[in-house]
Structure 1
Amino acid sequence: MAGRRTRWGWLAAVVAAVVVWGVLSRGGPSPSQAGGERTTPSHAPSAKASSAPPSLPSPPSPPSPPSPPSTKAAPSPSRTTGGGYDPADYAPQVKARAQQAGVSARLVMAILYNEAYKPHDPALERAWQRYKPEAAFGIANMHRAAFEETRSGRDFAHRRWDELPDDRDLAIEAAAWHLHDLDAQLPAHWPGPFDREELLALGYNTGAGNMLAFARGASPGSQARSYLDRLHENWAKAGRAVA
């Protein structure tokens, strides 16, 4: 029990310790001599025989001064175990990976906001993937086939798809290069009503084939339209995050 003991409390403890020591020093029957095993209650400390009297207990230490409030640490660019996060915390990684891939950092960030609808906890993602093998991994929600195709010939070619839940920087890097590869498939001009960023976002969500169909004038279905609507909603804060 925490708290300050009174002087009489300490004295009683010392007297009790000396009495126990005196009894033990005269010698008592061992468990084998007494004909059975002696047990000690789990809630009380066992008495230990010694040839010297027990030392007096030390007075309680003064309470430590309260620690100053800690500042928020910058997110690790690699491994993580947390589920909740703000994509804006990863703006440095987004800007660096987007520049490497030659794509818009604002688009990459908007994609992360679009994909932040579910908890990105590694254990939860793997549990869901065991139930639904075709599920996506990582904060950019990348499917295995897209990752395998994107990593070929890249600096992260030696990395595995199942590392995405643990490594958010890898997830951002793979997403940026996937957008780069989608952009390379767009024609120089298209008759459809969507601009480049809209088509790339639709391609990220529905695949390259659908992206090209939308560029030719096909109308997105309800799911693709919802994804595009969320992109528009997230566009302003994505721009602020990477400004």
Structure 2
Amino acid sequence: MAERSTAAAKQGARTADREDARTPPLRPGGYEPADYAAVVVRSAREAGVSPLLVMTVLHNEAYKPHHPLLERLWQWWKPGASFGLANMHRATFERVRRTHGLPGRWQDLRDDPAFAVRTAALHLKDLDRSLARRHVRRYTRDELLALGYNTGERNMRAFARGVPPGPMARSYLRRFRAYRERAAEALADGGEPRDTVTG
């Protein structure tokens, strides 16, 4: 009986996520990560990571349109492209799917924004588990996790030891820092209190 109620609760949460996670608009410039604040908060809390971290990553990854039709066209043109609101590559998705027993396929990330956010939050949690508690002081823990999201776990660990990031990673980090306040405002506007910056 308890198993049924747990399964029903999870199904109810997935349904609520889908209702809160409408399909991104087709028109360029119409996508706003703040529209997914409720899904970000639920997914981050379920994964055990900061909603502010997840929302800031979504802002950082909002550089291309995320409508499913446009992502299908993008995949046709560039088969190894990343999908979903959080731009996840297939190999990363498969690793997260196996680790957490997720249903679905990589292609589902483009069609289900809530699933994309949940998968990104779980990936950030996996990165957090692999990051040593002590790291160079020039980065906060969230900054290192964002760098790991962008460049991979091995590079994240190298940056944590003091290896300087390359130009693309530095650019990602600058954008992450610039979007931090905007992400906090999106969460506050979504009815949730602001998170403190984790270090």
Bigger helix share? 2
Among 109, 112, 118, the residue aligned to 1:167? 112
Mapped to 2, the partners of 1:194 and 1:134 lie a distance apart of 30
1:180 and 1:209, CA in 2 relative to 1: closer, same or farther beyond 3 A?
same
Alpha-carbon distance in 1 for matches of 2:148, 2:99? 21
Amino acid at match of 1:151: R
Q: State yes or no: 1:77 paired with 2:20.
A: yes
1:109 aligns with 55
Deviation at 1:124, TM superposition (A): 1.4
Partner Cα distance (2:136, 2:143) in 1: 14
Give the one of 92, 97, 109 matched to 2:43: 97
For residue 88 of structure 1, what is the amino acid of its counterpart?
A
Q: Percent identity?
A: 53
- d(CA) in 1 for partners of 2:92, 2:184: 26
In 2, the alpha carbon distance for the partners of 1:81 and 1:202 equals: 25
Q: Following superposition of structure 1 onto structure 2, how do residues 145-184 of structure 1 map, counting pairs within 5 Å? A: 145-154=91-100, 157-184=102-129
TM-score (norm 2): 0.80
TM-score by length of 1: 0.66
Contact 1:93 1:172 (C-alpha < 8 Å) held by counterparts:
yes
1:120 aligns with 2:66: yes
- Residues 132-152 of structure 1, C-alpha deviation per residue, up to 9 Å, x if partnerless? 111100110000111111122
Unaligned residue ranges in structure 1 (runs of 5+): 1-74
The CA RMSD over aligned residues, in Å, is 1.6
Query: Are positions 1:206 and 2:151 aligned together?
Result: yes
SS in 2 for 1:118: coil
CA distance in 1, matches of 2:152, 2:99: 20
1:37-68 CA deviation, whole Å, 9 max, x = no partner?
A: xxxxxxxxxxxxxxxxxxxxxxxxxxxxxxxx
Deviation at 1:191, TM superposition (A): 3.1
Higher relative contact order (CA 8 A, sep 6+): 2
1:190 paired residue number: 135
Name the structure 1 match of 2:178: 233
Please state whether the residue corresponding to 1:219 is helix, strand or coil. coil
Aligned residues: 168
- Secondary structure of 2:110 counterpart: coil
**Which whole-Å CA distance do the structure 2 matches of 1:167 and 1:81 have between them?**
10
Match of 1:134 in 2: 80
Structure possessing the higher radius of gyration over alpha carbons: 1
Name the CA distance, whole Å, in 2 between partners of 1:115 and 1:198: 14
| Distance across 1 between alignment mates of 2:68 and 2:125 | 26
Q: Hey, what does 1:50 align to over in structure 2?
A: none
Conserved? CA contact 2:21–2:39, under 8 Å: no
